[in-house]
Amino acid sequence: MKIAIQKFGGTSVANTTNRTKVVDKIIKQCESGYSVVVVVSAIGRKGDPYATDTLLNLVDKEGMNPRELDLLMSCGEIISGVVLSNVLKDKGYDSTVLTGYQAGIITDNKYGDADVLRVNPDKVLKDLKLGKIVIVTGFQGATSDGEITTLGRGGSDTTAVLLGEALNCEYVEIYTDVDGIMTADPRVVPDARLLEIMSYSEVYQLAEDGAKIIHPRAVEIAERSHIKLIIRNTLNDGKGTLIKDKDCSNTYKKKDRIINAITYKKNRTQVIIVDKERGNSTEKLMDMITRENISIDLINFFSDKKVFTIDKKDIKTMEKILKKEECDYNIVKDCCKLSIIGNRMQGIPGVMSRIVKALSKEDIQILQTSDSHATIWCLIKDKDLEKAVNSLHHEFNLSKKPV
């Protein structure tokens, strides 16, 4: 039995017109000889009647028990699944709707951001063998004793790939409201180009550093099981972006470009701490930051100072810690982290030099840098974001398709 997994996001199922396009894509897979599993998100986005955020606005989130909150949040996907099943019925196709729990997704009891412990796809397989299209509510599962849980941000992507893994699918299609993964945010770079193929590691870094096309956790699961991912637009028939192992891709030859994409994360704040023979107090300081659940990034520790970034929302808490420890510090607000991503940059000389020159031409100050084998990060001021991304996009010829 050939099984296809198709995941449709909130905008894909938001209205009658879009749901008709969704059903057309499901039917096309059926007619191609596939048994189809469909994963759905809640209908629409914030403000739409059945979107998850809209449901949450019905209650006092701060005062609610996390268990009941997850029950409420699970409703949006159930509504979406039943509505889509009804459209399929009108087209003459038999389908069944399963909650995450009924589909065999078992989690721990960390309500709101549960970790999946195992997936038992027996019920899904049984319904597929009966010739049904199986619609699974994304973003949710349940504990082993049946308590409903949700999987956190990007949970529907995670659901789709976990089912793909459990059902031994060759690929998972992620349908959304964009054509695929672009070389940069098209709202910032008008001539950004669609990327036809990317590696897991590149897409993971893009997702981790600001691009909201797919959740990084879903990419990790796909990579461990070598499941190909395809990001496509619900509203057209474009090929989208194929995501797979870099070693099996013919686009990673020597003649291809070393940079594939640029993304960014706003609302970053730089923290600079000047050391004054503080002995072992650095360890104490880091422990305090950890206890306050502050995530730090772009970490550069030197003998005379320590530099890192935090999210804008953590500024007040960080300053309380630094004052309590009598640190000599400086806070640089309104920063943005640029991520320049490409699997081929490792061992290639001159990449950083080109970045510095491109930004210098635009009089953009680089506040901090860091790098890994496939990414270079630069911290700049928010006000320079648009100039910086366009400058780097031009420097590395990302608008032109590689030859």
- Helical packing angle, 281-291 and 315-324, nearest 10°: 150
CA distance 238 to 241: 9
Q: Is 362 within 8 Å of 389 (Cβ atoms)?
A: no
CA distance 256 to 237: 27
- Spatial neighbors of 22 by CB under 8 A, at least 6 apart, are 8, 12, 13, 84, 87, 175, 234
pLDDT beyond 50 at 254: no
CA distances to 39, 164, 317 from 131, in Å: 17, 18, 56
Query: What pLDDT shows up at residue 256?
Result: 62
- Residue 297 C-beta-side C-alpha neighbours within 13 Å: 23
What Rg do the C-alpha atoms of the chain give, in angstroms? 23
353-396 pLDDT tens trace = 999 999 999 999 999 999 988 899 999 999 999 999 999 999 99
Q: Exposed (0-12), middle (13-18) or buried (19+): which is 110, by Cβ within 10 Å?
A: middle
- Residue 397 C-beta-side C-alpha neighbours within 13 Å: 7
Most confident of 152-161, 242-251, 377-386: 377-386
Pick the CATH number of 3-177 from 3.40.109.10, 3.30.70.1170, 3.40.50.720, 3.40.1160.10: 3.40.1160.10
CA distance 202 to 374: 7
If pLDDT is split at 50, 70 and 90, which confidence band does 230 have?
A: very high
Domain map of the chain by residue range? 3-177, 261-395
285-333 pLDDT tens trace = 899 999 999 999 999 988 888 999 999 999 999 999 999 988 899 999 9
From the list 328, 321, 335, 317, the residue with the least C-alpha distance to 378 is 335
**What type of residue sits at position 116?**
V
DSSP state of 110: -
Q: What is the dihedral of CA 147, 148, 150, 156, to 10 degrees?
A: 130
Query: How many helices, marked H, and strands, marked E, lie in the chain?
Result: 12, 18
Q: Is 339 within 8 Å of 375 (Cβ atoms)?
A: yes
Segment 17-34 mean pLDDT: 96
Query: What pLDDT shows up at residue 276?
Result: 65
What is the third-level CATH fold of 261-395? VC0802-like (3.30.2130)
DSSP state of 48: S
Query: What pLDDT shows up at residue 252?
Result: 44
Q: What is the DSSP string of 171-203?
A: EEEEEESSSS-BSS-TTT-TT--B-SEEEHHHH
* Beta bridge mates, 8: 40, 175
pTM over 0.85: yes
CA distance 397 to 46: 37
Residue with the larger pLDDT of the pair 222 and 304: 222
From the list 89, 175, 176, 103, the residue with the least C-alpha distance to 138 is 103
